[in-house]
Amino acid sequence: MMVYILNVFQLWSLCEALLSDISQPVSFQAVKLGDRISITCHIQHDAPRMRVWYKLTTGKRLQLVASTDTLYNLTIFKEPSQHFLVKAESFKSHLTISKTIQEDTGTYYCGVLTLNKCEFGQGTFLLIKGTNLISDSVIHQSESQTVQLADSVTLSCSVHSAQCAPEHTSITWMKNSENSAPEMIYSSGNENICQMAESGEMICVYNLFIWNLTLDDAGTYYCAVTSCGHTMFGNGTTIKIHARVTKLHDISPAFIALMLSNIILGIATLLLAWAHWKNHGKGLKSIRSGVIYASVSSAPRISACRSPVKNSQDTVVYSDVRVCQRD
């Protein structure tokens, strides 16, 4: 892993790397041994005439694959052969491998060159399925699984080796899915078990624990085992996640009874409120209809300075207000 990091720094030290204008949309590709594969690079602007492809392999130096002069439509390969093909377009560059072999595993970088700078993409890791880069070792991964949302799962990667000791072996997990970009998984605290078999082989089992699964955890997980300076890959374990569907018979009877009682109580409350509103409206209507208005007239006041005069009954008019309630 340290050699890999040093190689990455070597790549960036070649020139000023600007990743914003060069993009490689597919950062992880997996193909079977012997298949044809094409790696695409997108260029955001009218790129300079010189374009390059580099390959980075764990434990090896950075290697130039091909360089293209777009002005003369001329491509020069590091090793002349028909194994690699390069097609340059105005805003794209394609690197094609006609028939993949074991040595094609690695990370491929697309770049453009000018007099004072160069720009590189983020790289595309190419995994050749079915390869075994350690001749005396065999690698197995656990079977694909279908699990429920929020469950936990354990992925295992077992390595059978007759020469390389466990202390010289390291493992990295990679995840590839349709809904997200490929990612490297560096986990600690996972249980790794190594034991000697009767045949003399050393068998090491590396586990990856994933708790509380979400939909984002779905995908294919590959284990990459680096042992004695070489790397080998498993065929991948696919994890499919189904959302948990709650069935009626899984619900507690007490919970169902509580829900029904709440519904009945809510309906009863609405009926009582409606009945109270209706009766209150009828009362207001009856009061308004039972009021009889009558005019009131009064006799003019007699001045206190005048002598008292006996009032006749004709000088005073009495009126009253009667409230009648209808049956």
Query: Of 6-15, 76-85, 107-116, 253-262, which gets the smallest average pLDDT?
Result: 6-15
Domains 2-129 and 137-242 share a fold: yes
Residue 64 has pLDDT above 90, yes or no: yes
32 vs 327, which has greater pLDDT? Answer: 32
User: How do the domains of the chain map onto residue ranges?
Assistant: 2-129, 137-242, 252-289
End-to-end, the C-alpha distance of the chain in Å comes to 100
The mean pLDDT of the chain is 76
User: Each residue of 180-218: pLDDT tens digit?
Assistant: 666 778 666 566 788 888 877 888 898 999 999 998 899
CATH of domain 137-242: 2.60.40.10
Mode of pairing for the β-strands spanning 169-176 and 153-161:
unpaired
Residues 6+ apart with CB under 8 A from 10: 61, 62
Contacts of 237 (CB under 8 A, 6+ apart): 141, 142, 143, 144, 145, 155, 220, 221
Least confident of 85-94, 110-119, 174-183, 291-300: 291-300
Q: What is the pLDDT of residue 14?
A: 46
Q: What is the pLDDT of residues 38-47, one digit of tens each?
A: 999 998 776 6
Cα Rg of the chain, angstroms: 43
CATH topology of domain 2-129: Immunoglobulin-like (2.60.40)
pLDDT surpasses 80 at 238: yes
Q: Are 236 and 220 in contact (CB under 8 A)?
A: yes
